[in-house]
Amino acid sequence: MIGGFKLKENLFHKIEKKTNINKETIIALANKLQKNDMKNENSIREVIQDISKLTGKEVSKEQEQKIIEAIQKDKVPKNIDNML
User: Is 76 in contact with 68 (CB distance < 8 Å)?
Assistant: no
Determine the pLDDT at residue 33: 78
Q: Is the CB of residue 7 less than 8 Å from the CB of residue 1?
A: no
> Residue 82's pLDDT is what?
55
pLDDT of residue 18: 81
Consecutive sets of 10 residues in the chain, 84 residues long: mean pLDDT of each? 64 81 84 80 90 89 92 76 54
Q: How far apart are CA 2 and CA 15, in angstroms?
A: 20
